[in-house]
Amino acid sequence: MTAAPAPASVAPDPGAADRACARLSIDLGAIADNWRRLRDRVAPAECAAVVKADAYGLGCARVAPALVRAGARTLFVAQPDEALALRRTLDALDPPTAEIALLSGVWPDLAPVLTEARITPVLNHLGELATWQAHARARGRALRAYVHLDTGMNRLGLGPDEQAVLAAEPGRLDGIALAGWLSHFACADEAGHPMTAAQHAAFTDLLARLPPAPASLANSSGIFRDRAFHLDLVRPGIALYGGNPTPERANPMAPVVTLQGRVLQRRAVDSGMAVGYGATHRVQQSGVLATIGIGYADGYLRALSSVGTVATDRFGPAPGRIAPVVGRVSMDLIVADVTGWPAAACGPGSFVEVIGPDRPIDRVAGEAGTISYEILTNLGRRYHRRWLDDVRTGAG
């Protein structure tokens, strides 16, 4: 039995929050609520949880136990070392625990590592079926695996030719205990995109020609497009972490992440003055700037130069005000035009909201010309991180 991984915040350092130039809080209770909301929406289908890329940057060692306590029974990761780390996390929990499914597939050297750690691979091509089958034969028992069928994304999964071979030669599944058939939507985030229904039709046609097993197609957005897409198992990721799975409508999910940056300096400026590297911003009329201790080294993308926005602290003296980021994002700093904000909301030592209920991740992503997924998975390592407990009675 391996020891539990130490959560990043475990070393007691009461001064850390006071020293931090930026602080990130991750609401595990909101993640659990989001999972339960999806579970209720898709029942009787099973609701899995995707925790790849360190649970979308939020800390898999903290997020996965919260999801398992909420009831998740299948967790998907992308890479072998993510699966091994998750195995250590889950082994430290009281049973019942969850299955770990690995999207990367399997290769010969990896097969014994996966069986040893009780990790279920998703097999993506016929070569992987053969690898897993040979490994099962060597072990003398059937081994569990999902099989990924490509339905038009041309990324991972058996393509049409391999699907035809498999339908004609089901013996290629001998020795494989089929956990389920998977496919993945390319365009589910765009309401009414014809490719989504076409992929669903292609997938159900394929399933009719293949041995029966549970079927899984929908990611977060797919869950909201059509009940027919739920099939037996859904695989939400971003919706658990507060991203909007229906970008054309209000976000049905609860916000999870709050990122606050510390104001390091506040200065009065006159028209014509320049701000930041490249002097790309010129002050138009006299006003007030606040310099905030967060930059591109923290995942505050440089693409937010002169287009990002920050908000006043929601619990401070002037909640709900917005200020534009002016000039280029530096490695460790941004500058916001806080003209008109009360001094108490933007003096040195105050915090501004960079991501949170007043600056939702989808809006920040839109300002940066990217998606919420990239904002979350880039969240930096220098933040003071705090995980709000999913079990409200537990020590936080």
Ligand X SMILES: *Cc1c(COP(=O)(O)O)cnc(C)c1O
User: Which positions touch ligand X (CB under 6 A)?
Assistant: 50, 52, 103, 184, 219-220, 235-239
Query: If you search the block for the tokens 């929406």, which residue do you land on?
Result: 41
> How would you classify the pairing of strands 322-324 and 74-77?
unpaired
- Are 98 and 87 in contact by the 8 Å Cβ rule? The answer is no
Count the residues in the chain.
Answer: 396
Question: What's the CA gap between 365 and 52, in Å, rounded?
Answer: 20
**Crossing angle for the helix pair 194-209 and 160-168, to the nearest 10 degrees:** 20
At its nearest, how many Å lie between ligand X and the CB of residue 237?
3
Question: Which residue of this chain has its Cβ atom nearest to ligand X in the complex?
Answer: 237
Question: What's the CA gap between 288 and 265, in Å, rounded?
Answer: 11
What value does the CA radius of gyration of the chain take, rounded to a whole number of Å? 24
Residue 277 appears among annotated catalytic residues: yes
> How would you classify the pairing of strands 22-27 and 257-269?
antiparallel
Task: Output 74 or 219, the one with its CB closest to ligand X.
Answer: 219
Q: Which residues of 240-277 are buried (b: 16+ CB within 10 A; e: fewer)?
A: bbbbbbbbeeebebbbbbbbbbbbeebeebeeebebbe
At its nearest, how many Å lie between ligand X and the CB of residue 167?
22
At its nearest, how many Å lie between ligand X and the CB of residue 161?
21
Task: Output 218 or 283, the one with its CB closest to ligand X.
Answer: 218
> How would you classify the pairing of strands 351-355 and 309-312?
antiparallel
Task: Output 73 or 266, the one with its CB closest to ligand X.
Answer: 73
Question: What's the CA gap between 167 and 158, in Å, rounded?
Answer: 11
Residue 300 appears among annotated catalytic residues: no
Could you say which of 56, 277, 373, 383 is catalytic? 277
At its nearest, how many Å lie between ligand X and the CB of residue 288?
39
Task: Output 133 or 220, the one with its CB closest to ligand X.
Answer: 220
CA dihedral 260, 261, 262, 267 (to 10 degrees): -130
Count CB atoms within 10 A of the CB of residue 361. Answer: 26
Task: Output 156 or 310, the one with its CB closest to ligand X.
Answer: 156
Task: Output 151 or 258, the one with its CB closest to ligand X.
Answer: 151
- Are 338 and 261 in contact by the 8 Å Cβ rule? The answer is no
Question: What's the CA gap between 389 and 29, in Å, rounded?
Answer: 6
At its nearest, how many Å lie between ligand X and the CB of residue 274?
41
Catalytic residues: 52, 277
